[in-house]
Chains A and B, each alone.
Chain A
Amino acid sequence: GQNIDQPTEMTATEGAIVQINCTYQTSGFNGLFWYQQHAGEAPTFLSYNVLDGLEEKGRFSSFLSRSKGYSYLLLKELQMKDSASYLCAVVNSNYQLIWGAGTKLIIKP
């Protein structure tokens, strides 16, 4: 079967750094997406990785290791508005997105 694992919930402090992990087992791999979803809203695109390594975009970075079936999203200088769920999704061999259940990130002052 196909499986995406993420922690259910994480808590961090405003101004700090947090790393959200995602491990996957899918039928083939054609890339990995991270999306952000605020409560009651639609998911929005954050990042895409298809090659191993780190992709940096402002306060957010995403890392991929295809050999380990592993990715993480790194959020720096946390702000209260970063409180949201973060969804990991893998593009499988049929070019379909397989979604994790999401990690709810709670930011405390």
Chain B
Amino acid sequence: IAGITQAPTSQILAAGRRMTLRCTQDMRHNAMYWYRQDLGLGLRLIHYSNTAGTTGKGEVPDGYSVSRANTDDFPLTLASAVPSQTSVYFCASSDDSLNSYNEQFFGPGTRLTVL
């Protein structure tokens, strides 16, 4: 593994189903993030984690949950998917979230369609 990986690459999901998007990084970064990207809108932060064992809510957290049991993994769960959650989801990581120079490295994204 080099950098950040996400799985699955794409998924079509029936509304009401539960779904977990996986994210793994091998850079030993402290901070990890989940964004969604929709056409015409900027990247919007869903949840973040400044360090293993802690998580926080971003701009659009409703309908999503995360956990950070260890440094490498940061799964995002949709408890009961709705069509408005159709989007491209990016996972990112950075060395130090509480620093002005907070370069974030992104995974390849997961394209999720909820029908």
Contacts and interface: CB of A to CB of B under 8 A. Distances in A.
B97 A95 contact: yes
B74 interface: no
Chain B contact residues: over half helix, strand or loop, or mixed? loop
A100 B102 CA distance: 17
B40 interface: yes
A42 B107 contact: yes
Interface residues of A, number: 23
Interface in B25-78: 40-45, 48, 58
A50 B100 CA distance: 8
A41 B4 CA distance: 13
Interface residues of B, number: 22
Contacts of B48: 96
Interface string A96-109: 11111110000000
A48 B101 contact: yes
A72 B99 CA distance: 23
A41 B90 CA distance: 10
A74 interface: no
B39 to A, nearest CB: 9
A97 B100 contact: no
Nearest to B91: A42
A30 interface: yes
Interface of A: 4, 8, 30-31, 33, 41-45, 48, 50, 87, 89, 91, 95-102
Given A33-B103, A50-B100, A100-B42, 15 more contacts: A30-B100, A43-B90, A45-B104, A45-B105, A89-B42, A89-B43, A95-B99, A95-B100, A95-B102, A96-B48, A96-B58, A97-B45, A98-B42, A101-B40, A101-B42
